[in-house]
Chain A
């Protein structure tokens, strides 16, 4: 899936409106009846009030015509004033309601999407480019909420306004009314035609603009490469092509606008002309009073506004349909990895008890052993990542996973974390298939430290506390102390209150890792998973990390995707993983003896580390 090209937009707007889809989307608005009702009321009332303005004019003309004194004009004056007062109150009401509904709907849709995105497993994110998906969703949600609230208002107001004017005219003079109303149909057709095209053109301009911006930023980021390849001319040509597209789209939009407005104004004028022609003779023959004629002339000029508005909303609905489809299909996606009904039953039965040695799903809280039994895995049923993988680990053991990238190391820990489920074989915790255990329980027992740990925008203290939100300040500092993080933290400008993460103090990879250790330790997980950083870390920090790491390993089941020799050497068991299989396993000494893959890997890494040290020293 990729972002649509500007030219694809045309197809998007040609689609028929999917009423069923919009009904489901409109359900989000229906949740806010307390706002929707006053909104509907104000839209209807507003249209009726607005349709009565020509009547005020008619009253004034009638008074002047009937030789009454000028003072009698207070009546239409008051009428006019009253209409305006009600109008402004109604406008206030609808702006408040529509604005507030729009935000509520946006909040609801985003929350529903966010919840679903959290429930979905990693496999979903593999098939969707996450960045694009999420940015689209944000834009989609905003677009839908806007169109639901304001579109609803505009359509309701527009329809009622047309109806109110039509009824008022029919009451005043049926024959003249029908003549004026004959202009409505061409107005509808023309508005619909132009509005859709104008909207497409506007969107195209925006897309072209976005592409031009992207091209600028790529041009700047890639300047060195472009220059070494001598690609300046071709880049310039491409840029000219893009700004050319932008130019023609802008011209098209301007042309459409230039034709549309005069056209609809002309139709209004034809309506007024027809009214004057037919009504004028009526006035001369005294069959019609002048006030009514003047009212009709101004009615005829006003049909353009509501019809234009409705056409605009319909065009937007059409354009937003793709947004609606994306959001609704996301909400309809069910997570594949979730608690089975069996587990749900157990959670209901055992969930409430206070016994700490029993997990919420009724099994033992304590994890004694983990068994991988004949596990196979492939991401897309094509390429086999893991094949017949067997491993048994006891509490207190540390397993180092080594081997080339793409060999399956990360897959093993992803399966253990149940981010994915094995496509073959069983993964057992204390002898029970982990698909029969609660997902939430398992994942709360995991402490995971990634290569480049994600630190949130907040203080050091907040970042550590994320491991266990209920932890006291003392516990936080204690954890930092155990993993050797307290020394460098106390040297930071504001100690534990120093703001880190995006836009905060810059920390080295080693320091980030130490903070994430403290965070992991605070959570006190039974299973600790670590993806060791490959980037070089100075010798002193490395020593601190090693010590801290081993204090975490103590008494847990630990899996380390290891890159550093000291980590690898100290593991209870080293697994050399290649092409989804364990090619060698044993302790460091055993594996060096056997003179196989491990020895080769070890030598390469040893050389690398020593050379880096030598270069650093020089």
Chain B
């Protein structure tokens, strides 16, 4: 992920976007193509509105509310005493891990990036909310690429392509249905889940 965004350059090989080496693209242009949400997102000590708008400063209020709804955080924000103008950080309220992740997701969605990169970005969000977010993200299908890094299989099951990484190498690739039928880490993880349900059912 760091290589993709050119925080670092690769030692060997190259990354091509639509056939162009990332090193030949301007760094600003490259980063504009991405919406990134990290596992422990950084929020600025400002209002929620300013945090979401950070990066796309001329966004309309209606757009901000739309992306907040997609990230399932709109209702939570409305529940705060100052709504979107609530200050966060040192001088304001403290958000939970899941809330921070969802605010950061709204921020990433606002610029409507061609590539959305979620680095274990929903780890602190509960299952139900996660499902709602994934459903909302499906509306972006066909328009843009979404790259998801996750441990929870439920987050990944909908993906067009799943890449199983082990020790810096790609161990397996495929869709959920092909990987489940292939011997390997993915199958083992999936089996834990299904066997358990069988065990309880009997």
Give me the interface of A with B, judged by CB distance under 8 Å.
Answer: 2-3, 129, 131-132, 214, 218, 221-222, 224-225, 227-231, 234, 404-405, 592, 599, 603-604, 606-608, 610-612, 614-615, 618
A229-B54, A611-B151 known; A218 and B196 CB under 8 Å?
no
In the complex, chain B residues whose CB is within 8 Å of the CB of A234: 54, 57
| Residue from B32, B41, B92, B127 in contact with A225 in the complex, judged by beta carbons closer than 8 Å | B41
Are the CB atoms of A222 and B44 closer together than 8 Å? yes
Distance A599 CA – B7 CA, assembled complex (angstroms): 44
Other 7 A-B pairs with CB < 8 A, given A222-B42, A227-B5, A230-B28:
A129-B91, A224-B42, A227-B7, A610-B196, A611-B193, A615-B151, A615-B189
Distance A604 CA – B96 CA, assembled complex (angstroms): 21
Q: Which residue of B lies closest to A613 (CB)?
A: B192
In the complex, chain B residues whose CB is within 8 Å of the CB of A227: 5, 7, 31
In angstroms, how far is the closest chain B Cβ from the Cβ of A586? 16
In angstroms, how far is the closest chain B Cβ from the Cβ of A110? 23
Distance A225 CA – B200 CA, assembled complex (angstroms): 44
Distance A592 CA – B196 CA, assembled complex (angstroms): 13
Are the CB atoms of B92 and A2 closer together than 8 Å? yes
Interface centre among B34, B42, B96 (most CB of A within 10 A): B42
In the complex, chain B residues whose CB is within 8 Å of the CB of A222: 42, 44
In angstroms, how far is the closest chain A Cβ from the Cβ of B64? 15
Identify 18 residue pairs between A and B in the complex whose beta-carbon atoms are under 8 Å apart, listed by A's number. A2-B91, A131-B90, A132-B91, A222-B44, A225-B38, A227-B5, A228-B5, A228-B36, A229-B55, A231-B54, A592-B200, A603-B200, A608-B152, A611-B151, A611-B153, A611-B189, A614-B189, A615-B189
Q: In the complex, which residues 48-100 of chain B have their Cβ closer than 8 Å to any Cβ of chain A? A: 54-55, 57, 87, 90-92, 96
Distance A564 CA – B79 CA, assembled complex (angstroms): 31
| Residue from A214, A405, A604, A610 in contact with B127 in the complex, judged by beta carbons closer than 8 Å | A604
In the complex, chain A residues whose CB is within 8 Å of the CB of B41: 225
In the complex, chain B residues whose CB is within 8 Å of the CB of A131: 90
In the complex, chain B residues whose CB is within 8 Å of the CB of A230: 28, 31-32, 55
In the complex, chain A residues whose CB is within 8 Å of the CB of B200: 592, 599, 603
Q: In the complex, which residues 1-59 of chain B have their Cβ closer than 8 Å to any Cβ of chain A? A: 5, 7, 28, 31-32, 34, 36, 38, 41-42, 44-45, 54-55, 57
| Residue from B126, B152, B192 in contact with A614 in the complex, judged by beta carbons closer than 8 Å | B192
Q: Which residue of B lies closest to A610 (CB)?
A: B192
Are the CB atoms of B196 and A606 closer together than 8 Å? yes
Are the CB atoms of A2 and B32 closer together than 8 Å? no
In angstroms, how far is the closest chain A Cβ from the Cβ of B63? 16
Q: Does chain A have a CB within 8 A of B166?
A: yes
In angstroms, how far is the closest chain B Cβ from the Cβ of A597? 12
A228-B5, A231-B54 known; A3 and B91 CB under 8 Å?
yes
Q: Does chain A have a CB within 8 A of B188?
A: yes
List 8 tightest A-B contacts by C-beta distance, closest first. A229-B55, A228-B36, A225-B42, A222-B42, A610-B192, A2-B91, A607-B193, A230-B31
- Digitize B177-189: 1 where CB-to-A-CB distance is under 8 Å, 0 elsewhere: 0000000010011
In the complex, chain A residues whose CB is within 8 Å of the CB of B32: 230
In the complex, chain A residues whose CB is within 8 Å of the CB of B102: none
In the complex, chain A residues whose CB is within 8 Å of the CB of B185: 614, 618
Q: Which residue of B lies closest to A221 (CB)?
A: B42
In the complex, chain A residues whose CB is within 8 Å of the CB of B193: 607, 610-611
Are the CB atoms of A614 and B188 closer together than 8 Å? yes
In the complex, chain B residues whose CB is within 8 Å of the CB of A224: 7, 38, 42
In angstroms, how far is the closest chain B Cβ from the Cβ of A404? 6
Q: Does chain A have a CB within 8 A of B197?
A: yes
In the complex, chain B residues whose CB is within 8 Å of the CB of A228: 5, 31, 34, 36
Distance A349 CA – B20 CA, assembled complex (angstroms): 87
Q: Which residue of B lies closest to A617 (CB)?
A: B188
Interface centre among A221, A225, A607 (most CB of B within 10 A): A225
In the complex, chain A residues whose CB is within 8 Å of the CB of B192: 607, 610-611, 614
Are the CB atoms of B31 and A2 closer together than 8 Å? no
Distance A45 CA – B57 CA, assembled complex (angstroms): 65
In angstroms, how far is the closest chain B Cβ from the Cβ of A49? 50
Distance A317 CA – B45 CA, assembled complex (angstroms): 32
Interface centre among B38, B55, B153, B166 (most CB of A within 10 A): B55
| Residue from A2, A592, A610 in contact with B87 in the complex, judged by beta carbons closer than 8 Å | A2
In angstroms, how far is the closest chain B Cβ from the Cβ of A227? 7
In angstroms, how far is the closest chain A Cβ from the Cβ of B147? 13
Distance A599 CA – B199 CA, assembled complex (angstroms): 13
In the complex, chain A residues whose CB is within 8 Å of the CB of B188: 614
Q: In the complex, which residues 81-133 of chain B have their Cβ closer than 8 Å to any Cβ of chain A? A: 87, 90-92, 96, 104, 107, 111, 126-127
Are the CB atoms of A218 and B153 closer together than 8 Å? no
- Digitize B155-172: 1 where CB-to-A-CB distance is under 8 Å, 0 elsewhere: 000000000001000000
Distance A397 CA – B104 CA, assembled complex (angstroms): 43
In the complex, chain B residues whose CB is within 8 Å of the CB of A599: 200
In the complex, chain A residues whose CB is within 8 Å of the CB of B45: 214, 218
| Residue from A2, A129, A218, A405 in contact with B96 in the complex, judged by beta carbons closer than 8 Å | A405
In angstroms, how far is the closest chain B Cβ from the Cβ of A313? 31
In the complex, chain B residues whose CB is within 8 Å of the CB of A606: 196
Q: Which residue of A lies closest to B45 (CB)?
A: A218
Distance A587 CA – B31 CA, assembled complex (angstroms): 53
Distance A618 CA – B169 CA, assembled complex (angstroms): 14
